[in-house]
């Protein structure tokens, strides 16, 4: 119920695609072989990673800080955030940033945040019925997973993310 | 209305901003003058010139607030003006309780202005209580008692709109003993001129029309409603008989009940406990033009529940000493200087444009371009540096701004606490960044509260130990290099280390074992821990365990430190050390673990090559001998847990940082150089990370973290273990201990 209301509250998209069912645009990106996606309206820009300044003794998930147009941006390494390849970390203290890696620039609770991802893939327009609730995965899901996207006619499985818990409850 | 011709754009908002900043300045000046009056009064004098000054200030404020529709401020000013007029004409005597009322008025002004900005609810009940107290005051004056304007229940906004003459007439007629009547009458717009003249003519034999104002309510486009204030010695019934009309109503303006019915105005309650219950939340408020029944209700209300006199503002209500506005007053000459620099920058810009034109047309060779660009760059750099300096200067304001408010607090607190305290301030002219002054007001207030509550002893106790009965709190400010030092020193009872340790153990701030190890100075530092208090019973002033830890946090936010020293029976001194400015800071760029970091130069004493031969490990800490004295050092690469990047070099450097009188050697790989930077705060997700004040962009896309030297020193030195002082016995003990460690 709450979900429906939330999507309807997004007036513009709702009206435009009234006939085809409500569709939301998601930006899909790759991370350790999986495809994740965030609502595209939450992404302000996609950056090639500039040199990132580490913050010693900062949270493990924070890769460091960069400056974008005079603003300091906190870079969150999503691999670290999602506890991917923890074992690798012992081999390589600081995994190098690959050529295809990108930073998705966003803002969470007023703080400029950059999400470090392996690569940016494509934009998906998902209708309501193409989104499965997280409960299909079982009850004990991390709070940052908002749902599972299954675009019709594609084999892709998208892990839809909620950004706020990514930043606020590390 | 006045708009239209100007085309300046930001019209009413800008004007309102100016109103607030001007009103605030007036209120602050009032506070200062009142403190002056208070000082004179203690010597048994009444400074007539100051009373006049206060009167003029209130008068200006009244006019100003009337102009901007701040009716409550205007109303309060009006009442105040009456009282001050009585004061300067000697009709009432200036006493401490009168001063109390005036001080309350100043606090209320501040709150009213905040309310006017829409940032807080209006303190209606307090204003009403104060108004009644003032009218009671006026009625007490010596000589034959004549009624005053204050006793009439007139809308507070009215006085903002009366001309001086009308006001004068109002006063005079009231003093003649005439009653006031309010006539509401509706005219058709087409006939208003003649109809009004008619009304005036018929009213004339019965009294004097003071003023008429449009009410602006309940009228259609064709009619206008006026409210006429008529002074007359005839009864309202008589007037109703002679002044008739279809849309006309007359009512008598109610007299406030005042204290003349009671024996005399009670002095302000000496202690918190006897504070009368708060006024009913919906106490009838004088707002706008009151309806007839409301005026009646007010009289009845006032009769049943005598309003709390002289106690309108409690201390708790005065939560913050921060200014209402962020405005900085600037000497026009400073702006002229800046303007000149901008002019010169424009010249540089033109030269660059010309050069790029010529380069495009290949009129000049690349070598010439290079030379010319170099010259322009130098000129640009010079102008920019001047500009920066100029703007910094504009941000600087004298600390006195904060001190003035503190003097008021001292007076208020000492009276409420029944202690006699005097504040002696020096160095009020010391300049510091406006933002810092703002952030400093509240911590200073806490410190002063603390000094009055815990420090200064009660009068009898002071007599017993042979101290002067009047306690002294000294507030000293001075500049020391790139830092500003502010001391708050009292001549009170001082702190008992044993009592502090007891309280700290009882409250679980430290364990008994830890307490054993504490040096005297560390013991005093305990009072800055959250939740610490030695008072058994919380008072309204302090002792609730909040305060000093907040002081420390707030000062730390400004990049400063606070230290405490105390002698039992002699007094306590707290010292705040702060950077002069926050905006642009001069830093030393260094490399640590192959990455750039910035250290604010304000806290750098010197830098030198690290000679490992002079490093000794004592306990778990490394100490460097510098010119025969011990200096604790901290290897930042290790502290930060960084993997070294690039080949390890043989040579390292030590940057000697000093905040207040604590020194720490920071070991870095490399010194890069000095730079002016703009420091930016780290995001919320990094707020728990220790040791950094922020970060700055270095150009070339790189970002460098700025070390929070005060926090690092705190972290490394004040961990409850032995502290290494730069000189004295600590050095002795370190020498003694060194061999044991290595054995």
pLDDT confidence tier of residue A158, bands split at 50, 70 and 90: very high
Interface check for B701 against chain A (CB to CB < 8 A): the answer is: yes
Q: Which residues of A touch B682 (CB under 8 A)?
A: 55, 65, 72, 74
In a domain, A11, yes or no: no
Asked if the Cβ–Cβ distance from A111 to B697 is below 8 Å, we say no
pLDDT confidence tier of residue B155, bands split at 50, 70 and 90: low
Query: What are the pLDDT digits (tens) for B121-142?
Result: 888 888 888 888 877 776 665 4
Interface check for A131 against chain B (CB to CB < 8 A): the answer is: no
Interface check for B686 against chain A (CB to CB < 8 A): the answer is: yes
- Sorted by sequence, the CB contacts under 8 Å of residue B457 that are 6+ apart come out as B419, B465, B467, B471, B492, B493
Task: Output the pLDDT for position B245.
Answer: 74
Task: Output the pLDDT for position B217.
Answer: 62
Q: What is the mean pLDDT of residues B213-226?
A: 69
Interface check for B688 against chain A (CB to CB < 8 A): the answer is: yes
Task: Output the pLDDT for position B282.
Answer: 42
Question: Closest-CA residue in chain A for B689?
Answer: A58
How far apart are alpha carbons B336 and B394 in whole angstroms?
11
Interface check for B682 against chain A (CB to CB < 8 A): the answer is: yes
Task: Output the pLDDT for position B531.
Answer: 65
In a domain, A5, yes or no: no
Q: B632 vs chain A: nearest CA distance in angstroms?
A: 22
Report B:629-648 residues touching A (Cβ under 8 A).
Answer: 640-643
Task: Output the pLDDT for position B413.
Answer: 81
Asked if the Cβ–Cβ distance from B680 to A112 is below 8 Å, we say no
Asked if pLDDT for residue B701 goes beyond 50, the answer is yes
Interface check for B452 against chain A (CB to CB < 8 A): the answer is: no
How far apart are alpha carbons A54 and A65 in whole angstroms?
6
Task: Output the pLDDT for position B736.
Answer: 36
Query: What are the pLDDT digits (tens) for A75-85?
Result: 999 988 888 76
Asked if pLDDT for residue B382 goes beyond 50, the answer is yes
List the domain range (segments joined by +) for residue A131.
20-168
Asked if pLDDT for residue B149 goes beyond 70, the answer is no
Q: Which residues of B touch A111 (CB under 8 A)?
A: 683-685
Mark B383-409 as b/e (b = at least 16 C-beta within 10 Å): beebbeebeeebbbbbbbbbbbbbbbb
| Phi, psi values for residue A151, rounded to 5° | -60, 135
Asked if the Cβ–Cβ distance from A51 to B697 is below 8 Å, we say no
How far apart are alpha carbons B149 and B118 in whole angstroms?
30
Bridge partners (DSSP) of residue B72 are none
CATH number, residue A152: 2.40.50.180
Task: Output the pLDDT for position B71.
Answer: 81
Task: Output the pLDDT for position B366.
Answer: 83
**Domains located in chain B, CATH noted:** 10-153 (1.20.120.160), 332-397 (1.10.287), 414-579 (3.30.565.10), 584-742 (2.40.50.180)
Asked if the Cβ–Cβ distance from A55 to B681 is below 8 Å, we say no
Please name the member of A55, A76, A113 whose beta carbon is closest to the beta carbon of B689.
Answer: A55
Is the distance from CB of A66 to CB of A53 less than 8 angstroms? yes
pLDDT confidence tier of residue B216, bands split at 50, 70 and 90: low
Range with lowest mean pLDDT among A71-75, B269-273, B671-675:
B269-273
Structural domain total, chain A: 1
In a domain, A134, yes or no: yes
Interface check for B300 against chain A (CB to CB < 8 A): the answer is: no
Query: What are the pLDDT digits (tens) for B314-326?
Result: 444 445 666 666 6
Query: What are the pLDDT digits (tens) for B647-659?
Result: 556 688 999 998 8
Query: What are the pLDDT digits (tens) for A106-128?
Result: 998 888 999 999 999 999 999 88
Interface check for B683 against chain A (CB to CB < 8 A): the answer is: yes
Q: Which residues of B touch A56 (CB under 8 A)?
A: 640-642, 691, 705
Order of all β-strands in the sheet with B223-232 = B207-214, B223-232, B179-188, B248-252
Q: Which residues of A touch B705 (CB under 8 A)?
A: 53, 55-56, 65
Asked if pLDDT for residue B427 goes beyond 80, the answer is yes
Asked if the Cβ–Cβ distance from A112 to B683 is below 8 Å, we say yes
Asked if pLDDT for residue B16 goes beyond 70, the answer is yes
Please name the member of B640, B703, B704 whose beta carbon is closest to the beta carbon of A57.
Answer: B640
Q: What is the mean pLDDT of residues B701-729?
A: 69
Interface test with B, best of A72, A73, A108, A113 (most B CBs within 10 A): A72
């Amino acid at each position: 119920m709450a979900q429906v209301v939330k999507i309807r509250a997004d007036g513009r998209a709702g009206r435009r695609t009234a006939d085809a069912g409500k569709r939301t645009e998601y930006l899909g990106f790759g991370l350790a072989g999986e495809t994740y996606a965030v609502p595209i309206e939450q992404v302000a820009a996609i950056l090639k990673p500039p040199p990132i300044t580490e913050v010693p003794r900062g949270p493990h998930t924070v890769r460091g800080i960069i400056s974008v147009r005079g603003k300091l941006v906190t870079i969150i390494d999503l691999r670290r955030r999602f506890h991917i390849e923890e074992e690798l970390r012992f081999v390589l203290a600081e995994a190098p940033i690959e050529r295809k890696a990108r930073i998705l620039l966003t803002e969470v609770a007023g703080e400029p945040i950059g999400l470090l991802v392996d690569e940016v893939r494509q934009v998906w327009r998902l209708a309501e019925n193409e989104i499965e609730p997280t409960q299909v995965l079982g009850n004990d899901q991390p709070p940052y997973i908002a749902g599972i996207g299954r675009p019709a006619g594609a084999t892709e499985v998208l892990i839809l993310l909620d950004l706020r818990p990514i930043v606020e409850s590390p | 209305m006045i708009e239209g011709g100007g085309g300046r754009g930001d019209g009413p908002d800008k004007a309102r901003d100016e109103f607030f900043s001007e009103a605030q300045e007036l209120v602050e000046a009032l506070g200062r003058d009142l403190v002056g009056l208070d000082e004179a009064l203690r010597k048994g004098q009444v400074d007539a010139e100051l009373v006049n000054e206060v009167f003029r200030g209130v008068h200006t404020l009244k006019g100003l607030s009337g102009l901007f529709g701040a009716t409550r401020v205007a109303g309060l000013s009006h009442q105040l003006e009456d009282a001050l007029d009585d004061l300067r004409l000697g009709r009432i005597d200036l006493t401490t309780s009168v001063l109390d009322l005036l001080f309350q008025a100043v606090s209320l002004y501040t709150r009213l202005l905040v309310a006017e900005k829409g940032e807080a609810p209006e303190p209606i009940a307090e204003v009403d209580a104060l108004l009644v107290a003032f009218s009671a005051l006026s009625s007490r004056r010596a000589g034959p008692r004549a009624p005053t304007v204050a006793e009439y229940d007139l809308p507070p906004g009215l006085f903002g709109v009366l001309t001086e003459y009308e006001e004068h007439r109002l006063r005079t007629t009231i003093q003649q003993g005439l009653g006031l009547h309010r006539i509401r009458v509706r005219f058709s717009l087409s006939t208003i001129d003649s109809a009004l003249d008619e009304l005036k003519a018929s009213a004339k034999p019965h009294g004097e029309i003071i003023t008429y104002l449009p009410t602006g309510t309940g009228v259609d486009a064709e009619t206008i409603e006026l409210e006429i204030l008529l002074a007359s010695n005839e009864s309202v019934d008589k007037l109703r008989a002679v002044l008739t009309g279809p849309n006309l109503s007359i009512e008598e303006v109610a007299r406030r009940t005042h204290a003349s019915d009671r024996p005399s105005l009670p002095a302000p309650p000496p202690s918190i406990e006897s504070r009368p219950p708060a006024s009913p939340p919906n106490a009838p408020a004088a707002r706008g033009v009151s309806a007839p029944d409301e005026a009646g209700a007010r009289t009845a209300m006032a009769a049943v529940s005598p309003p709390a006199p002289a106690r309108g503002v409690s201390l708790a209500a005065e939560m913050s000493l921060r200014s209402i506005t962020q405005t900085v007053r600037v000497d026009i000459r400073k702006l002229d200087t800046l303007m000149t620099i901008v002019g010169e920058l424009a010249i540089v810009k033109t030269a660059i444009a010309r050069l790029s034109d010529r380069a495009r047309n290949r009129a000049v060779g690349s070598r010439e371009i290079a030379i010319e660009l170099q010259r322009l760059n130098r000129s640009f750099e010079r102008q920019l540096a001047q500009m920066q300096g100029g703007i910094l200067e504009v941000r600087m304001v004298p600390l006195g701004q904060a001190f003035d408010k503190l003097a008021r607090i001292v007076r208020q607190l000492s009276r409420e606490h029944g202690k006699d305290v005097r504040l002696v301030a020096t160095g009020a002219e010391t300049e510091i960044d406006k933002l810092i002054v703002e952030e400093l007001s509240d911590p200073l207030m806490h410190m002063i509260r603390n000094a009055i509550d815990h420090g200064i002893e009660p009068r009898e106790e002071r007599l017993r130990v042979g101290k002067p009965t009047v306690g002294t709190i000294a507030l000293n400010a001075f500049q020391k290099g790139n830092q500003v030092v502010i001391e708050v020193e009292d001549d009170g009872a001082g702190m008992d280390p044993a009592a502090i340790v007891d309280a700290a153990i009882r409250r679980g701030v430290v364990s008994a074992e830890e307490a054993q190890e504490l040096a005297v100075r560390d013991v005093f530092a305990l009072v800055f821990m959250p939740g610490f208090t030695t008072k058994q019973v919380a008072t309204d002033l302090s002792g609730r365990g909040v305060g000093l830890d907040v002081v420390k946090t707030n000062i730390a936010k400004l990049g400063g430190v606070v230290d405490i020293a105390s002698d039992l029976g002699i007094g306590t001194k707290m010292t705040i050390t702060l950077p002069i400015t926050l905006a642009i800071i001069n830093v030393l760029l260094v490399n640590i673990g192959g990455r750039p970091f910035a250290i604010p130069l304000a806290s750098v004493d010197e830098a030198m090559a690290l000679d490992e031969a002079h490093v000794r490990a004592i306990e778990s800490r490394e100490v460097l001998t510098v010119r025969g004295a011990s200096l604790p050092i901290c290897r930042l690469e290790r502290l930060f847990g960084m993997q070294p990047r690039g080949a390890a070099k043989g040579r390292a450097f030590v940057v000697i940082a000093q905040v207040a009188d604590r020194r720490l050697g920071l070991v870095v790989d490399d010194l890069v150089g000095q730079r002016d930077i703009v420091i930016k705060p780290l995001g919320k997700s990094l707020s728990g990370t220790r040791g950094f004040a922020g970060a700055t962009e270095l150009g070339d896309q790189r970002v460098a973290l700025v070390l929070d030297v005060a926090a690092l020193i705190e972290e490394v030195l004040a961990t409850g273990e032995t502290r290494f002082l730069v000189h004295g016995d600590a050095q002795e003990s370190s020498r003694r201990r060194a061999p044991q460690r290595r054995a």
